[in-house]
Amino acid sequence: MKKIVNSKIITPYRYLEGYDVAYENGKIVKIGKDIANCEEVLDAKGLFVAPGYIDLHIHGGGGFSFIEETEDAVNHAMEEVAKHGVTSVLASHMVPVKKLNDLYQEYMKKADGPEIIGLHAECVDWEYIYGEPMNEGKEIPDYSVERCEQILENITTLKRIGIDPCIRGAAEITRYFVSKGVSVSISHCGPADYGQVMKCVEAGANSATHLYTGMFGFYRDEQTGERFPGLIEDCLLEPDLYAEVIGNGKHLTGPMLDLIYKSKGVSKMYLTTDAAPRKEPFAEGEPMVIPNRLPNRISIKTMAPMDYIVQQTYRCSNIPLLDVIRMATLTPAQMMKINDRKGKIAEGYDADFVFLDKELNVKAVIARGKVCKNLN
């Protein structure tokens, strides 16, 4: 049995000082004062110790991608994201890909270290992804339950998928995926009206992918001029929808983060990176979040890791530290229904820890009991 001493624990409901955390076989076994019979003691030297970060929307890290379809790339990507405090990910791609399923399935057999909890596909397929230049002028397709059955037959690691409420059959396929244990998020959608969105919510959709990005706000009836809530407002209004937030200070500035927080609260707002990989190392002071100029629009491209997201959310918003940490740990665990083993520092939970200084820099990382970054 090993134990961590001399830390300020973020559970993340509260702070605990003067307590030890003991773990063995990848699980937390005891939290208390002066825990005895430990073969190894790790002195945290007064650092914060929080649950390991959980990133439900990430495409890679450190120059390695989750979509390169090689075992080496996936292994290196996980090693890199772990250095930034992330101990669990939904490996993300725009669409479900069988070869990725096979890679993730093999990686998921590992009993320790950072964990892939499944595949996250932002959309059903390449045929129609709203807002992408390659799909301009295409007719909105419809998707059958039979087609989705084939996806799940081939891709057993699929745990989350994005659905556009504008497509025909959206509510039906939402209901199907949810019945099979796949979380459905409203994602990359056209100008969906209130009725279309709520049909998907009623069918079981539980989140909105990167709120404000790739979606529309309120709209007006062309005949009467009446205003109705669009997907953005629907997410803020509907208590059952989780808001996925890229809290890097650019996609959403501090006041925007405060707005979402006041609408959704800590239990329905979670942080993600949506990070794309970059092979070249960043020069000191070089921005990780940059404008991405596309035809007729400007998007924001981010390569920022989760530790940067947590820091920026705390720095530029008025959200309390405990809640910021919870948005990167327990709330995403609850969204994916893995909060029986992830997202808390509590007995029986996975031994996932991130050690942070006062500026929220990551100083050490442990994932399921395995040291991923050593404490200096």
Q: CA-CA distance, 159 to 184, in Å (whole number)?
A: 9
Query: Is 368 a residue whose pLDDT tops 90?
Result: yes
Residue 191, pLDDT score: 83
The pTM for the full model equals 0.93
Query: Is 181 a residue whose pLDDT tops 90?
Result: yes
The DSSP result for 291-311, as a single string, is EEEETTEEEEEE---HHHHHH
Mean per-residue pLDDT for 69-73? 86
Quick: pLDDT tens for 211-263: 998 888 898 888 999 999 999 999 999 999 999 999 998 899 999 999 999 99
Q: Between 136 and 178, whose confidence is greater?
A: 178
Q: Record the tokens describing residue 122, joined without a space.
A: 């932002």
Quick: pLDDT tens for 152-174: 999 999 999 999 998 889 999 99
Residue 129, pLDDT score: 64
Residue 228, pLDDT score: 92
Mean per-residue pLDDT for 277-303? 68
Residue 326, pLDDT score: 98
Q: CA-CA distance, 268 to 273, in Å (whole number)?
A: 17
Q: Record the tokens describing residue 74, joined without a space.
A: 């996936």
Mean per-residue pLDDT for 65-86? 89
Lowest mean pLDDT among 37-51, 133-147, 186-200, 354-368: 133-147
Q: CA-CA distance, 300 to 304, in Å (whole number)?
A: 11
Are the CB atoms for 217 and 233 separated by under 8 Å? yes
Are the CB atoms for 3 and 21 separated by under 8 Å? yes
Mean per-residue pLDDT for 342-363? 98
Residue 349, pLDDT score: 98
Q: CA-CA distance, 333 to 205, in Å (whole number)?
A: 16
The DSSP result for 167-186, as a single string, is SBTHHHHHHHHHHTT-EEEE
Reading across the β-sheet that carries 362-367, which strands appear in turn? Answer: 15-17, 8-10, 48-51, 353-356, 362-367, 370-373
Compute, in degrees rounded to 10, the torsion defined by CA atoms 112, 50, 92, 168: 130
Residue 141, pLDDT score: 67
Residue 96, pLDDT score: 87
Q: Record the tokens describing residue 226, joined without a space.
A: 């009446």
pLDDT category at 51 given cuts 50, 70, 90 is: very high
Quick: pLDDT tens for 94-148: 888 888 899 999 999 998 999 999 999 998 876 666 656 555 666 666 778 888 9
Strand partners, 51: 353
The most confident of 111-115, 131-135, 286-290, 326-330, by mean pLDDT = 326-330
Q: CA-CA distance, 218 to 77, in Å (whole number)?
A: 38
Mean per-residue pLDDT for 75-85? 92
Are the CB atoms for 198 and 165 separated by under 8 Å? no
Helix residue spans in the chain (DSSP H): 71-82, 98-107, 145-154, 170-179, 194-203, 231-237, 254-264, 306-316, 321-327, 330-335
Q: CA-CA distance, 267 to 184, in Å (whole number)?
A: 18
